[in-house]
Amino acid sequence: MELLHIFFLKFLQFGAGAAFLYAYLEIIRPGSGNRILVLIMTLTGTILLRYSWYLQDDLLEFPYLFIFLHTSVLFVGPLIYTYIRSFLETEEESPKERLIRYGLHFSPVLLFAVFESAYFSQDSSDLKTQVLQGAKEFRLDWAHLGSFLASIQVSVYSLFCLYLYHKVSRRYEMYELKLVWLVLLLPVFANTFIGTAYFLKNKYLFDLGASLICVMILLLFLVRERHPGFFSEISEVIQNAKYQNTPLLTKEIEAANAKLKELLEIKYLYRDSELRLVDLAAELGLNLHQTSRYLNEVHKMNFYELINRYRVEEACKRLKEEPDSSVLDIAFAVGFNSKSTFHSQFVKFMGMSPATYRKDGRSLK
């Protein structure tokens, strides 16, 4: 069993590293990095790292390693809510209304920070004694209460975000990605195990709960790889529904058609792997909602479908005309940022893999 515990310990450290890596990748993503997601992953990484320290008896001798641990856990719940809500927003709010709504969610975090500051400001020897005793036996004290509340809070927020995602998906008749369900359910199980383990002082149950958070991070990498524009597409669907009555004049459509043809067929704008709907809207001289409606009504495709169609179309030509170029080189050249995304989109439009097409070319569907 001790070997299993060591394995889980290493897995937690690996998960912490993966969380930091995810945050870094989000930071360096040109023009599209989400600061809330960066903060969530950074906090998750520090939490996992300190969980691994908590499971090492020798590190319990240094209680200040765990300062603001409960506050960090408590911070994650409202951040997840804010992140999910930013994509599923269905109502316009003034800055004041937004501040009041989100401020209420984050106020307990500030309260916890004050209490935790007071707790860690006591005499260092007393603090060390309390931390060591708290790690070995259940005590009805602030630390145990904080752990319980933090575990409950993250679970409640995860379930609420799942409910919100399901509700909006049904309202706008969107496909519900099962990976998102799993990502939002894992924190519920993880914190249930961690909270129970903290009270029972069962390190193996704690190992299991913390490891589920690591699994969640790995699943986020999977969502990022296979569905890079998933949440952006959700926002687009919602905005299309909200602004379905936004008028587009005939002359605006004609101007947009000419400009779009120039951007995609002369300037090859789709080759930019970081191209977003907001970028295209700026080039077309339309607002975001008009652009979404224009693409859906005039071209019968959403932004990602249109851009990926052009990318696949050029890839088809290159696969035939550049036999010495690898499939991956062609994928990057036409604007895809991963081989798996290129493969899935190519199969979607062509009904076959790029390698098969190279041997037996057909026209685009």
Domain extent at residue 326: 243-359
Count of domains forming the chain: 2
Residue burial 327-361, b: 16+ Cβ < 10 Å; e: rest = beebbbebbbebeebbbebbeebbeeebeebbeee
Q: What is the pLDDT of residue 318?
A: 93
Is there a single domain that holds both residue 193 and residue 276? no
Is there a single domain that holds both residue 308 and residue 336? yes
From the list 47, 67, 22, the residue with the least C-alpha distance to 191 is 47
CA–CA separation, 157 vs 159, rounded Å? 5
What element of type H or E holds 95? helix 95-120
Q: Specify the DSSP class assigned to residue 58.
A: G
Q: What is the pLDDT of residue 140?
A: 66
Is there a single domain that holds both residue 168 and residue 43? yes
Q: Token digits for 187?
A: 């924190």
In a domain, 201, yes or no: yes
Q: What is the pLDDT of residue 286?
A: 83
Q: What is the pLDDT of residue 130?
A: 81
pTM value > 0.85: no
Counting every residue written for the chain, the total comes to: 365
Is there a single domain that holds both residue 70 and residue 167? yes
Of 228, 260, 275, the residue at which a domain comes to its end is 228
Is there a single domain that holds both residue 220 and residue 250? no
In a domain, 119, yes or no: yes
In a domain, 234, yes or no: no
Of 160, 195, 228, the residue at which a domain comes to its end is 228
Task: Give per-10-residue mean pLDDT for the chain (365 aa).
Answer: 85 94 84 77 94 87 89 91 75 63 85 89 87 74 75 89 80 65 88 85 88 92 72 62 61 89 93 87 82 86 92 93 91 91 91 89 51
Is there a single domain that holds both residue 254 and residue 221? no
Task: Check if the beta carbon of residue 84 is closer than 8 Å to that of residue 118.
Answer: no
Q: What is the pLDDT of residue 36?
A: 86
3-class DSSP string for 163-209 = HHHHHHHHHCCCCCCHHHHHHHHHHHHHHHHHHHHHHHCCHHHHHHH
